[in-house]
Amino acid sequence: MSGGWTIPPVSAVESGLVISGGQLVSLSRQNLLDCVSPPSMAGALEYVHEHGLASEADYPTTGGQGTCRQNVPAAAALDQVHQVTSGDEVGLAAGLLQNPVAVLINAGLISFQLYSSGIYDDPRCTASGVDHAVLLVGYGTASGTAF
Cβ 129 vs Cβ 108: under 8 Å: yes
CATH superfamily of 1-81: Cysteine proteinases (3.90.70.10)
- The predicted structure's pLDDT at residue 142: 63
Per-residue buried b or exposed e for 77-92, using 16+ beta carbons within 10 Å of the residue's own CB: ebeeeeebeeeeeeeb
- The predicted structure's pLDDT at residue 6: 94
For the chain, which residues score pLDDT lower than 50? 1
Report phi then psi at 103, rounded to 5. Answer: -135, 165
Q: Which residue in 64, 9, 5 sits closest to 38, CA to CA?
A: 5
For 86-115, the pLDDT digits (tens) are 889 899 999 999 999 999 888 777 888 888
- The predicted structure's pLDDT at residue 22: 83
- The predicted structure's pLDDT at residue 26: 97
CA distance 88 to 62: 37
CA atoms within 13 A on the CB side of 72: 23
Q: What residue spans define the domains of the chain? A: 1-81, 89-146
pTM: 0.84
CA distance 78 to 102: 14
- The predicted structure's pLDDT at residue 146: 52
